[in-house]
Amino acid sequence: MRTLVRSGRVVTAADEFVADVLVEGGRIAAVGVELGVDDATRVIDAEGCYVLPGGVDPHTHTDTPQLGTATCDDFTAASVAAACGGTTTQIDFALQEPGQSLHAAVETWHGKLADAPPVIDVGFHVSVTDLDHAGSPAELGELPGLGVTSFKLFMAYRGSIMVDDATLFRAMQVAARVGALVMVHAENGAAIDVLMRQALAEGRTAPRWHAATRPPATEGEAVNRAIQLAGLAGAPLYVVHVSCREALDPIARARRRGMAVWAETCPQYLLIDRSALDADGLEGAKYVFTPPPREQADRDALWQALATGLLDVVSTDHCPFRLADQKAMGSDDFSKIPNGAPGIEHRLALLHHFGVRGGRLAMSRLVDLLATRPARLFGLYPRKGTLAVGSDADLVVFDPEHRSTISAATQRTGSDYSLFEGIEVEGAPRTVMVRGQLVVEDGELVAEPGHGTFVRRARFGESLPIAAGVA
Amino acid sequence: MRTLVRSGRVVTAADEFVADVLVEGGRIAAVGVELGVDDATRVIDAEGCYVLPGGVDPHTHTDTPQLGTATCDDFTAASVAAACGGTTTQIDFALQEPGQSLHAAVETWHGKLADAPPVIDVGFHVSVTDLDHAGSPAELGELPGLGVTSFKLFMAYRGSIMVDDATLFRAMQVAARVGALVMVHAENGAAIDVLMRQALAEGRTAPRWHAATRPPATEGEAVNRAIQLAGLAGAPLYVVHVSCREALDPIARARRRGMAVWAETCPQYLLIDRSALDADGLEGAKYVFTPPPREQADRDALWQALATGLLDVVSTDHCPFRLADQKAMGSDDFSKIPNGAPGIEHRLALLHHFGVRGGRLAMSRLVDLLATRPARLFGLYPRKGTLAVGSDADLVVFDPEHRSTISAATQRTGSDYSLFEGIEVEGAPRTVMVRGQLVVEDGELVAEPGHGTFVRRARFGESLPIAAGVA
Amino acid sequence: MRTLVRSGRVVTAADEFVADVLVEGGRIAAVGVELGVDDATRVIDAEGCYVLPGGVDPHTHTDTPQLGTATCDDFTAASVAAACGGTTTQIDFALQEPGQSLHAAVETWHGKLADAPPVIDVGFHVSVTDLDHAGSPAELGELPGLGVTSFKLFMAYRGSIMVDDATLFRAMQVAARVGALVMVHAENGAAIDVLMRQALAEGRTAPRWHAATRPPATEGEAVNRAIQLAGLAGAPLYVVHVSCREALDPIARARRRGMAVWAETCPQYLLIDRSALDADGLEGAKYVFTPPPREQADRDALWQALATGLLDVVSTDHCPFRLADQKAMGSDDFSKIPNGAPGIEHRLALLHHFGVRGGRLAMSRLVDLLATRPARLFGLYPRKGTLAVGSDADLVVFDPEHRSTISAATQRTGSDYSLFEGIEVEGAPRTVMVRGQLVVEDGELVAEPGHGTFVRRARFGESLPIAAGVA
Amino acid sequence: MRTLVRSGRVVTAADEFVADVLVEGGRIAAVGVELGVDDATRVIDAEGCYVLPGGVDPHTHTDTPQLGTATCDDFTAASVAAACGGTTTQIDFALQEPGQSLHAAVETWHGKLADAPPVIDVGFHVSVTDLDHAGSPAELGELPGLGVTSFKLFMAYRGSIMVDDATLFRAMQVAARVGALVMVHAENGAAIDVLMRQALAEGRTAPRWHAATRPPATEGEAVNRAIQLAGLAGAPLYVVHVSCREALDPIARARRRGMAVWAETCPQYLLIDRSALDADGLEGAKYVFTPPPREQADRDALWQALATGLLDVVSTDHCPFRLADQKAMGSDDFSKIPNGAPGIEHRLALLHHFGVRGGRLAMSRLVDLLATRPARLFGLYPRKGTLAVGSDADLVVFDPEHRSTISAATQRTGSDYSLFEGIEVEGAPRTVMVRGQLVVEDGELVAEPGHGTFVRRARFGESLPIAAGVA
């Protein structure tokens, strides 16, 4: 079936122009004016709207255990929220449980995907927590062959999933050898652990101590450490959820020296102030995510870094919990509040509203940050992340004038609150297509779970072929 | 007439994919697979070739007086060389003569264009050398209304076209007010003048003293000064022909602070060593251009800056003189050698060969550097600089496997030597089209002078409309 | 005659200890406990007091023409104020008038010294305003032979004493050759001139426009320029009256690279806010000095720079005018207000109070900043600037507990106001000795004009011999 | 007994002058000319010589276990070597054995001192390797009360004495609370451990692999980490044995921000090239110390850092082993070579020869680096480290013209080789005095073991009182 998206304002990471987009066989067949249409062609009118590549969200935690509970979205739920928000590919973290083999971790995630089939396409990173049992490093080296081409390591959460520098460095060496991208959650977990224990020992249990025990220097230090070790190992590095100036500084120094270092931030670091944690009880618990929200000067620095290219990606770190029964676990002790918050659904609307309408980002830069750069860095490009001829027809018709108010009452995630409750934004996805099939129409889900599928990603620096004989 | 460029590998600043490009009415009508073709459509086979946006060279000196002579290409000659090299738009400097009004300077350049009509499109910057007679600043403010939206100032050539900081700063203030981009030739002309006089007084007249009297710190100092003054005036700044690490440093600092500063380098700074000037007599005189060629470490830094985004553009600073009768004027005194060299024809081939084939640049980055970024910075985008639907059909079919040897014997400029004589490069333009008309076929000129036309450029930060009702 | 200063707390740039100081023949003969004393020895009890090297103030403008008037202290007046404030050597600027020979400028200053003999020792810098008439550079090279071993150049005051970069660079070359220190008043005079003309044209004539037309970037730019040119010339550089972060940055970069660059600030930049200029009329005019006072963040940065060694000296830039008839010249036009303010008298008390008592500086660092470092940098050491055996007995008995209030009513300068009116400070000089002779006792002048004498200073990097056969 | 050191050139960290130094009661009584002398006064002629404060070496490892053996000097031996080299105070590391209490570690070191009494004064740091058993942090806080006011932690030697970041950070918190200085051996031990294991697994066992497995980035990373953690804890930090540019960079950034960070280097990093390790077998094993020797560019950077104040101290890291039976333990495996080398004896001669005579350091800067700064940083000042009145009469009469050749054959350490074998140096200590008693005369030891004593040092930032009623 052919579909023509007519007269929209097409935006790529480089260009912006009014044209029709012709979709055929699930891929972009042509972009142009007055493209031929026969009677069998479905026509979608996009006049007055942007036509964007579907978003790629490289940082989500779906159905993932933490502190004895698990994030409250399965892949069906997360992907529906994603789709409604204009994201057509998510990359989730297959988490290695203690003692578990890495293959088993990936298999577990395939099982989750099979059990709760998604409406958008899904890739996996692996979160490495243990390289010490026999065979682990070799196993890690095999994962790219299975399409899992990025390795995440946690420098925080001591006593749980934190790895030491030897594990981090060895994973980097494997990555360098097999063509994988290393991702780090960069916070000095040891110093944070000391500060947390001291705070709790002093009876400082309210949510605000979550931020107070994770000062910016712990993030800046860890970012620098990861960069130095990656440089030594010869591995490309991607720093997740950068939140503060202290973390931007070592990234800027690395870039200036031409090192292979990239980084992302998330909407919550661009928009939420540290003072949100000052609210007592569950209200404050909403904002317990890691790193914590920071100061206005940090947000200014992050916006500037997005504009100037120091940061490459905005992801969501979607990690949803319910307030009522999950966040509430820590009502007497901030260290027992599950860390994370929902976010997969509002990335595009928030970045368009505060970034583009706010005068901080051009539309083509927005597309780069939300789709093209993550697709390139994570081995999905050119199949995903752009509107090039031959690419998957993952696209969003985005109405920049549509006004809506973000609210837990209307969002799709299983979580019962939103970090952005009550914020009115201009711009919303109207139509979303995944590989040529309509998934969202007029803002409503129209696809069945299962349309989405696992994507084997290419190795770092390689392209994901889009079709035999074409590219 | 319709033209279909078939099955080439289309490259934009963001994407690279195999597709047909349909040209109609002088503009890009569509990009896609299996685009409909009727009998009247001319078909150009691009299989195995790149299809690139035509190059934009924002730094050329055509028929321009210097030291009592003038550069040896008129617009017909320069544009033919440009076209054969894959450049479809050049922006030349209308030079204000001492005491001349700025309008008159622009008129003079229009006259040169009329007298020697070009085969590619041509825009003008104005080179401001005097703002002190009544009306000058007001006049300068009027030029953007005539499509001359960038102001060049020389911080070097004391006693000739050098301006003092007051003139520079006032021009920046005007630029900030009317939406123009300020361009600076950044060298401390005063210090250089002292060093030159001292060298000559000591009998140091050989070409090598050209470099010795223009040490890198003179360039680095002036770049920093221009940045500070532009920041104060609120004007966007573009630093031409960056040659060394000392000049990159202040640009990097400015970028890190989010300042509106951009910069270019040229093939000669990427490829030629300072030692080329050690040759005596006319051989050394070939390499007398300004700033002079530098060290290997500088070239490494420049390549890295192109890759990481610290530099935005590669221009040519095409400023051709003949050896035999022009460069020879300074055979006994380096200060009498006209400064400059030919280069407009080999930019794309050199950057493809040493940049892309050399593993330093991706093809899409090459397109960005040679076409999209200069078009955006100089108010030509989206009409020029990309292959977006609706854009002018300025395009190049580039055969990456074609081997050729650069030589004065075969080049089109009126100059009788090449800086790159004897270098064998892989890749050459096969077909070049300007607004849909073939200008070069199989590497040979097929258009008549006069196909090219003056382009009124948009103000800084604004788009150049591509057609009523389209964008 | 022998004098014993008993039981004071002796402070040098390195040490602090309680001891007696024995003075004989105008020099320090010994420092120790229980030094032998005969009946003929005068004993000064310093118990509970500091014994400090007399201050060296390397930045004063005595009886110096400006805007048709002249600073209101002659050498007798300035030196009395200096002595009472604990300064025992001042270095004044012999200003070259337009067209005047440099020798004549120095002779003029010798005349001023003879006409109004000082009570403290006096050295001269030369302020070079013109190197263009025949013989000037050669003449400049001769000045160190006359004990004038530092050359000041103004990068501001366009149309008056500002020099262009060629003159600055040539003076630096001479300095490098003959062993002189180059001093720069670093502000971009051209940009400031443009801003001043524009302000006046818009009727902005109040004192606050003095600051608004001299933004920090004009200072930062000029500092960087001076550093780059000095590096090129191989000359040591000293930046006077640093006022802001923008100026500290290039100094820090230069230091990190090991360049021969030093800098001073003054009490007014450490203590006075830009808002002082907001007062209308004469009140605001008090604060018209150059560079203007800046923001709190600048003051914090300057204090830190004094503590960490980024700044080396605190001078006063004593440049006194009377409000009533001199500052008043600009009551309708800030550009006609003579630039400068009195300050020579309160440097030590202010720095002790706000620096040492304020917890920002150690006493030995204070001595370094006010005496030892300026003596070393300006060729007075070890004769001046320390309490070493053999050094001139220029010393101050300083009572740190004495409280006083700074006021125009009690100060010695001929000026009729103080920048620091009403500030209560802890600590005051009780006794001041110049070459062993008492000049101040119990805070009152006890010497006759003429005790002070001209000091021929050593070339840069050389020591000033303290006595034949001793050092 | 009184001693007069006559007519030497006295050098302090600030001054240099010819004078007599009178010693009485073990302390400096006076410095001056023609000081009164009675018949009972011993007179030492120092004409033509420097009179320097005795050196303070804050980094020695005496009789210290490592890899199943121990350094081969006890306190008698080490102190004799120190004294002969012009060092009058050493600060050694009391090493906490696994599971040992910190008090026991200090007691053990007191025992070593009693068993092998020294000829110079001795202080102790504590090397913390374990804070995890009950009471350790409290115990650590008590050590400053015992005169042990600096805590050393190793970020390298994984599996042995390396601490993790939690232990490091907790020790820093204690230090901040009780007024101790934190010292770090800064190398990323985890990455080094990985590299060492890999090298050995590949059969790379020669000494050169010692350097190859400790690349500069491992040092730079750890320095930055220590700085960030110290800043967070509010503790002052001292980085030991800086060897490379990568380590200087974060120190420079910290200094620029006014952080409480200081650092030392050692003669071996100033003088020995990495290629020394290329020698096979025992010859290469001589140079197995940690960090390893680096490149020429690093040595240039270190010398510059000493001159400009970025580095504050030169220590020796005296850690002597015998080649024949100790270094030989690793003849088949570089990881089994004890790390360290002798050096306590030649610091002053090497720094005078290569630093002062080499034109890189002034004499007063040398005194600062070897005596005054370490005394100040480690709570010995003003009792030690200077020649102030009232200070201990620890002094060195140093003959700058004496030539000697460094050789294992003539040195005093128990080690059987020297890193500096065969180097001819100008300048040697002639007479050394500790608290007024002659320890070395004409280069030969004249004191009995036991003259030296343990020194209780003051807390960080505090002075060590020199005598009741004096200071």
* Cβ-defined contact of A307 to B16 (cutoff 8 Å): no
Nearest to B15 among A12, A19, A255 (CB): A12
pLDDT at B133 (0 to 100): 82
Q: Which of A15, A256, A471 minimises the CB distance to B382?
A: A15
Residue B157 sits at the chain C interface (C-beta within 8 Å): no
Q: How far is B140 from chain C (nearest CA, A)?
A: 17
Q: What percentage of chain C exceeds 90 in pLDDT? A: 95
Asked if B12 and A12 come within 8 Å (Cβ–Cβ), the reply is yes
**pLDDT above 80: residue B341:** yes
In sequence order, the 6+-apart residues with CB closer than 8 A to the CB of C213 are: C192, C195, C196, C199
Contact A183, A464 (CB under 8 A): no
Interface touch D165/A191, C-beta < 8 Å: yes
Size of interface A-B (CB pairs under 8 A): 119
What is the rounded end-to-end Cα distance, in angstroms, of chain A?
A: 22
Q: Do D32 and C22 touch (CB under 8 A)?
A: yes
Mode of pairing for the β-strands spanning B237-239 and D313-314: unpaired
pLDDT of residue A135: 85
Residue D169 near chain A (CB below 8 Å): yes
Nearest Cα residue to C127 out of C180, C201, C176? C180
- C243 vs A259: CA distance, rounded Å: 37
Q: Alpha-carbon distance D324 to B224, whole Å?
A: 59
Q: Which residues from chain C sit within 8 angstroms of residue D461, using beta carbons? A: none
Residue to test with chain D: of C5, C9, C17, C23, most D Cβ within 10 A: C17
Contact list in B for residue C232 (CB cut-off 8 A) is 191, 215, 217-218
Quick check: A190 and D162 in contact, CB under 8 A?
no
Give the neighbours of chain D: at least 3 Cβ pairs within 8 Å. A, C
The residue among D250, D251, D252, D289 whose CA lies nearest residue D271 is D289
Between chains, do A390 and B35 touch, taking CB under 8 Å as contact? no
Mean pLDDT within D342-358:
98
- Decide: B435 and B83 in contact? Cβ < 8 Å: no
Residue A452 CB partners (closer than 8 Å, separation 6+): A75, A79, A117, A118, A119, A120, A121, A122, A434
Closest partner residue to B188 (CB to CB) among C165, C190, C193 is C165
D31 with C33: Cβ contact below 8 A = no
Asked if residue B406 has pLDDT above 80, the reply is: yes
B13: contact with A, CB 8 A cutoff: yes
Give residue C468's pLDDT: 39
- For D390, the closest of C17, C252, C466 (CB atoms) is C17
Number of separate helices (H) and strands (E) present in chain A? 14, 19
A136 interfacial to chain D (CB closer than 8 Å): no
Cβ neighbours around D162 below 10 Å, total: 21
Task: Assign 3-state DSSP to chain D and report helix, strand, coil percentages, each to 5.
Answer: 35, 25, 40
Number of helices (H), then strands (E), belonging to chain D: the values are 14, 19
Nearest-Cα residue of chain C relative to residue B215: C232
Torsion angle of C-alpha atoms B342, B346, B351, B356, degrees rounded to 10: -160
Mean pLDDT, chain C, as a whole number?
A: 96
Query: And the tokens for D30?
Result: 């006076």
Whether there are 3 or more C-beta pairs closer than 8 Å between D and B is no
Q: Please work out, in degrees rounded to the nearest 5, the angle formed at the alpha carbon of residue C245 by the alpha carbons of C239 and C250.
A: 55
Instruction: Reduce the DSSP state of residue B24 to 3 states and report it.
Output: strand
CA A390 to chain B, closest CA, distance in angstroms equals 7
Q: What percent of chain D has pLDDT over 70?
A: 99
Question: What mean pLDDT do residues A454-461 have?
Answer: 97
Is residue B467 very low, low, confident or very high in pLDDT (cuts 50, 70, 90)? low
| β-strand partners of A2 | A24
The minimal CB distance from C258 to the residues D34, D304, D466 is found for D304
Q: How many CA atoms lie within 13 A of C126 on its CB side?
A: 35
Nearest CA in chain D to C384: D15
CB contact under 8 A, B16 and A252: no
CB within 8 Å: C228 and B215: no
- Residue in chain A nearest B466 by alpha carbon: A17
- List chain C residues with CB under 8 Å of B225: 188, 221, 224-225
Banded model confidence at residue A467, pLDDT cuts 50, 70, 90: low
Band of pLDDT at residue C134, cut at 50, 70 and 90: confident
What SS3 class is residue B180?
Answer: coil
Q: What pLDDT is stored for residue D1 in this prediction?
A: 77
The 3-state DSSP class for residue D262 equals: strand
State the Cα–Cα distance between residues A167 and A148, nearest whole angstrom: 19
| B196 falls within a domain | yes
ipTM of the modeled complex: 0.96
3-state secondary structure of C208: helix
| Beta-strand runs (E) in D267-329 | 313-314
Bridge pairing between strands B150-154 and B121-127 = parallel
Q: Does D33 touch chain C (CB under 8 A)?
A: yes
> Average per-residue pLDDT in chain B?
96
Closest CA to A187 of A319, A339, A370: A339
Q: Which of residues 403-462 of C touch D (CB under 8 A)?
A: none
Percent of chain B with pLDDT over 70: 99
Tell me whether strands D55-60 and D87-95 are parallel, antiparallel or unpaired: parallel
CATH of the domain at C239: 3.20.20.140
- Average pLDDT of D78-100? 96
pLDDT tens figures, D305-323: 999 999 999 999 999 999 9
Q: Is the pTM of this model over 0.80?
A: yes
Which residues fall within 8 angstroms of residue A18, CB to CB, at 6 or more apart?
A: A7, A8, A9, A10, B389, B390, B470, B471
| Partner residue facing B33 (CB), from A14, A30, A382 | A30
Considering only CB atoms, which chain D residues are within 8 Å of A194? 166, 169-170, 173
Report yes or no: C4 at the D interface, CB cutoff 8 Å.
no
Asked if C386 reaches chain D (Cβ–Cβ under 8 Å), the answer is yes
Measured CA angle at B147 (ends B141, B150), to 5 deg: 60
C391 phi/psi in degrees, rounded to 5: -70, 160
pLDDT value at C331 more than 80: yes
The whole-number pLDDT of residue C469 equals 35
Residue listed under structure tokens 């918190």: D173
The percentage of residues in chain A with a pLDDT greater than 70, rounded to a whole number, is 99
Q: Put residue C450 in one of left, alpha, beta given phi > 0 → left and psi -120 to 50 → alpha.
A: left
Compute the residue count for chain A: 471
Domain presence at residue D158? yes
* Length, in residues, of chain B: 471
In DSSP terms, A437 is beta-bridged to: A434
Beta strand pairing status for B55-60 and B87-95?
parallel
> Is B420 a domain residue?
no
Q: How many structural domains does chain C have?
A: 1
In a domain, D468, yes or no: no
Task: Tell me if chain D has a CB within 8 Å of the CB of C5.
Answer: no
A140 occurs within a structural domain:
yes
> Domain span at residue A227?
54-377
B231 and C224 within 8 Å at the Cβ level: the answer is no
* A10 assigned to some structural domain: no
Contacts of B395 (CB under 8 A, 6+ apart): B5, B21, B23, B28, B51, B52, B53, B54, B88, B387, B432, B433
Is the pLDDT reported for residue B1 higher than 60? yes
**Average pLDDT along chain D:** 96
Asked if the structure places residue B394 within a domain, the reply is no
Question: Strand, coil or helix: what is A3?
Answer: strand
Residue A396 lies in a domain: no
Measured over the CA atoms of residue B404, residue B409, residue B412 and residue B415, the dihedral's sign is positive
Find, in chain B, the residue whose alpha carbon is nearest to that of C196.
B166
Best D10, D17, D52, D462 member to test C by mutation, with max C CBs in 10 Å, is D17
Name residue D246's amino acid.
E
